Structures are given as structure tokens and as C-alpha cells.
Amino acid sequence: MKLFTASLATLVALVSVIQATPTHQFDHFFPGWNARVQAILRDNCSEPYAEYLTGNVNQTLGKLSLVNPVIDCVLEAFPESRKAELATGALVLGLIPTILQSIGSSTAETALVGLRRPLLGFLISAGSPAVSMMKTSEFATAIAELAGGHGAPEGFGIASLRWSRGRGTWALLIGLVQYVAVGAAVANVLHLAWELGIYAVAIFAPDTVFGVPLWTLGAAAIHLAGCLAVWVRVRTRILDARDDADYAALSKPLNTWVPNQFIPAVFHPPIVLELRQDAGSSVWFYILSWVISIGILAQVAFGTLVLSGLLFFSLVDCLTIVGRYTLSAVVCRAVVRFELSGMMAALVPAHSKHTNEALEPEQVVLTDWKGVRRGM
């Protein structure tokens, strides 16, 4: 249900940006050249700009008959040095998808976070508008390795938090910091998508505004497909080694009413991740993996096309944009790595592919919310 809600929200957002109509593309630009371009529009290009503001499209010449004359006029008034800077800035912006790919989380990693904490996983996917390149076989291998407790980040000392004193306070504090950090990353990315969509002109389609927002939401759609693939392929089992009715609560490091959605994975109950072996799950998993691989290629290509074609950005503005996107990606990446480390601390590798065995009771430490160890 949560996946359906998130997917529906993404679909509505995609439809909204595709149907958007540009009406104020020249009203405001990024700070570097805003005053310069506004002066040119006022002093050198008032006639084509006035025609553009009317919104009266020449049906013979098409929709571009409004915006192209304004672009040509502004570029003609630009000195050659600024044109060279514009070209350099376009190169920098075009590298954004590649840069973010190198530092962003993979679909498999984000999907595993979403498996335990769907809301956080969705926010992470929206806060990092690029997906690390993965072949279909690499995606399947990564899921199998992570589900088996391999390939996860180590050396962070996160496992020590699981049974530490004051872990209730740590859980609430870390959970709050995670949502604040990821929420800020999402707000930053959405604000950039708005600015680069509404207050920018894309040379390949100057009469549209949906380029950058569509690229941004495309990454979220790919991550959601990854979550769906993992839910199809992986079954989560919370360990239950006793018949006592209260075992599910007592086996948690934190015996609390707070939903797991808002608690870091390191404090979750012990779990086993098992790969489903039925043919139907395997077929759908590999179909989704193939769709994800193709989607990543398309998203990177589209992002490069859109971002490298944005006009009227100074080099300083371009570097600022790169920095803001990079910051969001780094924040989301850090949260993903922390959550994966926490998941591995709570993960108990399955004994075999088909076993239903669980840990012996003495292997699970029982505590209440305040960290007081319970008797067996």
C-alpha cells in the first residue's frame, strides 16, 4: 500500500510537470547573469520580448516562434567572452548526471533501505536525482549479496549502538537527524528542479519547462522500481524463537510503541532476508531488473541532454548548482550507508535457502525501552 501511494504521488507529479506551460521563463535567472540578461531584454530585445509575453503563437511557424526570437536576440547582444563562459557552463551542467552517479547510492542499496523503512527510502530516492549504473546481472548479484549479509559497509561501529546504554535516546535522536537531513536534501533538489524548470531556457526544447523536473523525478521512479523488484524477490522474516505471545516485542532492542518507520534499522528486531525461489518471483524480478537498467541509461542520457542545454547561466552559477546537487547526493548516500550498516547488525543470515529455522532463545537479548535486560 505504501509503495502504491508513493508510486501514485510520483505519477501525479510527472503528469503535472509534463502539462506545465512556460509563461515566465525570462522573468528571473540565477544571480550571476540575471541583471545582465534583464538589461538586454529591456534595452536590446524589447520588441521580441513583448511579443513573447503576449503568448500569441504564430500557427504557421509553430510554438517556437515566440521564444526563439528572444533567445537569438539575447545571444546576439552577448559579448564573445560571455558566450565562451556560457559554453563552459553548459559543459559543467552536462556533467551533473555523471558526477551524481559516481557518488549516489545504487538502486539495490536504496531498495533494501525501503524494504525496512519505505518512507525513508522514498525520500532518499527523491533527494538524489541520479542512480548508479548497474547491469541487470549486477543488480541481481547485489541483492543476493546484501540479503546474505555480504557487501554491506563495515567498520562504522554502528553495531555497538544496538545494545548500548541509552539506546532509546540514540534511536530517537538518530531517526530525527535522518529525516531532517534527507528532508533538507529533498527540498534542495525540488527547489533546484523548480528553478531550472521555470526560470531557465533549454535550447533543445525552449518552449517547455518539464525537462529538469522530469529528470529529477525519473530517478525517484527508478528507485521505486528497485523497491518493487526487491519486494518481489526478497522475503523478510522477523525471528520468533519462542511461543510466548510477547516475544515479538521483547526481542526488540527497543520495546516501544514507536513504529519501525521512524527508528533506525540498527534498533530493529532480528530479521532474516530470504530470496524467494518460485519461478514467478524470479521472472518478475529479472524483468524489473532489465527495466531498471534501461531506465538508468535513459535517465542519464536525458539528464545530460537537458542540463547541458540550459542557457544564460554564469560559470559561478553552474558550479553552485553542481555543489547543491552533490550535497544532496552525499547526504542521502550517508544515510543509506548508515541504514545498511544497521540492517546488517540486525540481520541473521538464513541457514539455507529453504529453512524456516530461527535462532535459539539464548541468542537474542531481551530488553525493554529503557535498555533494561529482561529475563528469559
| pLDDT (tens digit per residue) in 268-302 | 777 777 777 777 778 888 888 888 889 999 999 99
Domain enclosing residue 275, as ranges: 84-363
pLDDT value at residue 183: 95
User: pLDDT category, 149, cuts 50, 70, 90?
Assistant: low
Please give the mean pLDDT across all residues of the chain.
Answer: 77
> Within a domain: residue 34?
no
In this prediction, residues 349-365 reach a mean pLDDT of 43
> Within a domain: residue 11?
no
CA distance 172 to 158: 15
> Within a domain: residue 8?
no
> Within a domain: residue 23?
no
Burial of 312 (C-beta count, 10 Å sphere; 0-12/13-18/19+): buried
Indicate the residue type of 13: A
> Within a domain: residue 164?
yes
pLDDT value at residue 246: 44
pLDDT above 70 as % of the chain: 73
Closest CA to 102 of 123, 127, 131: 131
* 49 vs 65, residue with greater confidence: 49
CB-side exposure of 238: number of CA atoms within 13 Å? 13
Indicate the residue type of 175: G
pLDDT tens digits, one per residue of 228-251: 888 888 877 776 544 444 444 444
> Within a domain: residue 288?
yes
CA distance 233 to 111: 11
What domain count does the chain have?
1
DSSP state of 270: P
